Amino acid sequence: MKASVVTPNSYTFSFICKCCDSFEAFKYGQVIHGETVRLGFGSNVFVQNNILNLYAICCGNSGLAWKVFDEMPERDVVSWNLMIGAYMRHDEIEAAIDLFELMPERSIVTWNSVVSGLSKKGNMELARMVFERMPERNEISWNSLISGYVRIGDMEAAKCIFDQMPKKTVVSWTALITGYTMIGDLETASNIFNLMSFKNVVSWNAMISGYVQNHMFDQAVNMFHLMQTDAKCKPDQTTLVSVLSSCSHLGSLEHGKWIDSHIKKHKFELSVSLGNALIDMFAKCGDVENAKSVFHKMASRCIITWTTMISGLAVNGQCREALSLFDRMQSEEIKPDDVIFIAVLSACAHGGLVEEGKWVFEQMVNEYDISPRIEHYGCIIDLLGRAGKLEEALRFIESMHLNPNAVIWANLLASCKIHGNEEMLESVARKILDQEPSNPGYLMLISNLSASVGKWEDFSSFRVAMRQHGVEKVPGCSSIQVGDSVHEFLAKDTRHVQRKEIYGSLHSLNGHLKAVRMFTNVEWSGETKIVNQRTAGII
């Protein structure tokens, strides 16, 4: 434009300033600022407001923004709002409030920006005081305060403001639902959701993601089916990512495939987040080929994509392929992070690739200068332990720059049991008990290992200690998919609504199994007699 000798106007600078929205773009912003002064726009309040906003966003502090504001020959309410916003952004609450009090006139935008800024910073006492002083309020005023209380988990105050709100909107209802899911009160969240006269996709997403965050994955899937039945809102990518996460945790491949077909049917763009969720679901459900297919279809990938695929290959036994994929990632000049190294080292441990694992660990430390976390050390201990290199694993633990925790020792303990090293087993068990004497998982592990090597006195003492401390092992859970629903069960579970029919069927099956076993034993006994007679004849 400059080369064509076309003179810019105030709108030109407005658009150009919007391009500078990060610290990296600050140098361009300074050039633009110089151009505005050179071309005589230094006294144009519209242009100077854009420059002020540029400094407020791009700078690491509010100093330069204040300098622009202070030198402005003319200011309007937007100028004051921008400067207050700059102070809020940089946690200079006192300066923001002082400037707010100095304002010659305040618009509702000013009041809202202060209430919203204070709410986002968690200063709810001050936010409430400003809110109470407002001459008029709109939907944004009420929602800012509700969201602030939700953010700090004060649902009693949030509900109180919500009840006072003269005209409740879908945003208000959704904020309240989100708050109750955050504190784990899904029953109240569900009741509020059911009271809503109008729901949008964000409301449905709040409920579905709330179930996912609280590990109620079957309810999340059921909520998704209700959304489909309701048919008033179409699911978006956020919905699908949440439901796919539920399918991953439930191991529900049937639901996962249905969502995959839904994505294809409605021609959803395979974004990075959606692609990652699909890969994770297929890999965790054991369908590695479909996981690979999604990976190859993705137009763009992030480090999470590569990590998810490598981890998926590893847990499904394709450990060498996982390492090959890691090599390919490096050849594409994508810099690995500490998380992907955990996935690669886990692949080495699962595949028994000792030398490869050592090389990957060395590469992480020396080539990429990544300081090992306890998880990286745990992978190497697991790798060496599985391979029977217990002494080397112990030396590695002693060389760690971090203090080994109970998880590290538990890894070594399991390897001692596998390879029958009773001497090391005792010393390692002692270290675990010194660190976490009341952990039910570790107490159960140690007592079972004591029994496996014939140390019944130790086994009994551990069991007595568990009972005395009231320690119970968290029970495992089984799940089964029937039609559109996933049912979860614990041992001796009595929560299911059809428990009478289920236990009746189990009792019947047990009867059939006993009959078959008795018949098999009779047949086996008869065969044994014949074999013995033949053997005796030969002798």
Cβ 186 vs Cβ 180: under 8 Å: yes
450-466 average pLDDT score: 51
More confident residue, 230 or 524: 230
Map residue 82 onto helix, strand or coil: helix
Burial label, 355 (beta-carbon count in 10 A; 0-12, 13-18, 19+): exposed
More confident residue, 274 or 517: 274
Residue span(s) of the chain under CATH 1.25.40.10 come to: 372-473
pTM of this structure: 0.74
d(CA 361, CA 355): 10
d(CA 35, CA 27): 13
The strand pairing partners of 482, in sequence order, are 485
Confidence of residue 8 (pLDDT cuts 50, 70, 90): confident
Average pLDDT over all residues of the chain: 85
Q: Does the structure show a pLDDT above 80 at 422?
A: no
Q: What is the pLDDT of residues 116-152, one digit of tens each?
A: 999 998 899 999 999 999 999 999 999 999 999 999 9
d(CA 267, CA 225): 19
Cβ 251 vs Cβ 217: under 8 Å: no
Domain 372-473 has CATH 3.40.50.720: no
258-269 average pLDDT score: 92
Residue 128 has what pLDDT? 94
Q: Does the structure show a pLDDT above 80 at 429?
A: no
Q: Does the structure show a pLDDT above 80 at 262?
A: yes
Assign 3-class secondary structure to 299-313. Answer: CCCCHHHHHHHHHHH
Confidence of residue 454 (pLDDT cuts 50, 70, 90): low
Residue 514 has what pLDDT? 83
Residue 414 has what pLDDT? 76
| Exposure class string for 95-106: b at 16+ Cβ within 10 A, else e | bbbebbeeeeeb
Backbone angles phi, psi at 224, to 5 degrees: -65, -40
* Span of 35-44, 146-155, 384-393 with lowest mean pLDDT: 35-44
Helix (DSSP H) and strand (DSSP E) numbers for the chain: 29, 2
Cβ 201 vs Cβ 236: under 8 Å: yes
Residue 462 has what pLDDT? 47
Confidence of residue 383 (pLDDT cuts 50, 70, 90): very high
More confident residue, 355 or 62: 355
Q: Does the structure show a pLDDT above 50 at 291?
A: yes
Residue 32 has what pLDDT? 86
Q: Does the structure show a pLDDT above 80 at 59?
A: no
Among 1, 4, 26, 35, CA closest to 13: 35
Question: How much of the chain exceeds pLDDT 70, in percent?
Answer: 83
Q: Please report the sign of the dihedral spanned by the C-alpha atoms of residue 212, residue 216, residue 219, residue 221.
A: positive
d(CA 32, CA 17): 8
Q: What is the pLDDT of residues 489-515, one digit of tens each?
A: 776 677 777 888 888 888 889 888 888
d(CA 175, CA 163): 13
242-267 average pLDDT score: 92
406 backbone φψ class: left, alpha, beta (φ>0; ψ -120 to 50) = alpha
Q: What is the pLDDT of residues 304-361, one digit of tens each?
A: 999 999 999 999 999 999 999 999 999 999 999 999 999 999 999 989 999 999 999 9
Residue 494 has what pLDDT? 74
Among 237, 407, 298, 333, CA closest to 308: 298
Residue 169 has what pLDDT? 92
Q: Could you tell me the CA-to-CA distances from 395 to 352, 391, 400, 420 in Å, in that order?
A: 19, 6, 9, 19
Q: Which two tokens stand for residue 459?
A: 């086994």
227-245 average pLDDT score: 92
